[in-house]
């Protein structure tokens, strides 16, 4: 179904990934992030493999983060590729906005409460899980809690498009059994479709 936003003009309903990037740059020209507007525009873009396949690089051992665009410096747009059964750690978002759109397959998001500073080595509390399929969009920030993303399929890969604003290069990762946190660097498997120099990656979130 075409949304009322789409009916108001092409700008709000990008038909290609390039149009989506251009629209997002315009939206992020302001200091204030309109969460509803960003989510609507990302939902209105319909996934097309011809748009994103040059950024979709899979690794047999871990999921990959592939930079599509740095926007106007206010956000990063990244394609994440998930092999069968792959998932992230439980992690924060360094006070950034995080939007996730499913481009192919499906992913499960599990939400967790922030661990109490007074409780040490306690198991983290999962407050719910949601499965997202093609063209659905999820949103989270640190005030909503922590999350883990997983491709629970054992026979299908998944691809997702993530927007982080502002961009960050490190976040907190948590051990589910003990709530112990560590700082993890975020790295890119590729940038603009080209493989980055190989490094030993500490974390991919």
Distance CA 159, CA 156 (A): 10
Express each pLDDT in 15-39 by its tens digit: 999 999 999 999 999 989 999 999 9
* Distance, CA of 134 to CA of 106 (rounded, Å): 6
203 pLDDT band, cuts 50/70/90, is low
Question: CATH homologous superfamily for 53-195?
Answer: Jelly Rolls (2.60.120.10)
Is residue 2 very low, low, confident or very high in pLDDT (cuts 50, 70, 90)?
very low
The long-range contacts involving 38-41, CB below 8 angstroms and separated by at least 24 positions, are 38/97, 38/99, 38/163, 39/99, 39/137, 39/139, 40/3, 40/5, 40/12, 41/5, 41/12, 41/13, 41/14
Please say whether the dihedral angle defined by the alpha carbons of residues 169, 146, 102 and 200, taken in this order, is positive or negative: positive
Q: Which H or E run contains 7?
A: helix 4-7
Domain boundaries, the chain: 53-195
Residue 11 has a pLDDT of 65
Q: Is the model's pTM score more than 0.85?
A: yes
Question: What's the mean per-residue pLDDT of the chain?
Answer: 92
Average pLDDT, integer, range 165-182: 96
Q: What is the pLDDT of residue 74?
A: 96
Helix axes 17-27, 35-44, angle to 10 degrees: 170
Q: In angstroms, rounded to a whole number, what is the distance separating the alpha carbons of residues 195 and 57?
A: 9
């Amino acid at each position: 179904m075409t949304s009322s936003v789409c009916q108001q003009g092409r700008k709000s309903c990008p038909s290609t990934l390039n149009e989506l990037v251009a629209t997002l740059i315009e939206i992020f020209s302001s200091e204030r992030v309109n969460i509803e507007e960003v989510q609507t525009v990302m939902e209105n873009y319909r996934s097309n493999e011809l748009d994103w396949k040059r950024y979709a690089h899979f690794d047999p051992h871990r999921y990959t983060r592939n930079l599509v665009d740095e926007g106007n410096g206010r956000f990063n747009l990244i394609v994440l590729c998930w092999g069968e059964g792959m998932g992230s750690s439980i992690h924060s978002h360094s006070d950034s906005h995080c939007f996730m759109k499913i481009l192919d397959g499906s992913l499960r998001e599990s939400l967790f409460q922030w661990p109490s500073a007074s409780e040490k080595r306690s198991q983290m509390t999962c407050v719910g899980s949601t499965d997202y399929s093609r063209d659905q969009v999820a949103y989270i920030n640190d005030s909503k809690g922590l999350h883990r993303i997983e491709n629970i399929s054992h026979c299908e890969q998944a691809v997702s498009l993530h927007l982080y604003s502002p961009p960050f290069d490190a976040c907190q990762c948590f051990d589910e059994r003990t709530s112990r946190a560590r700082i993890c660097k975020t790295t890119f498997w590729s940038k603009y479709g080209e493989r980055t120099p190989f490094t030993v990656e500490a974390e991919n979130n």
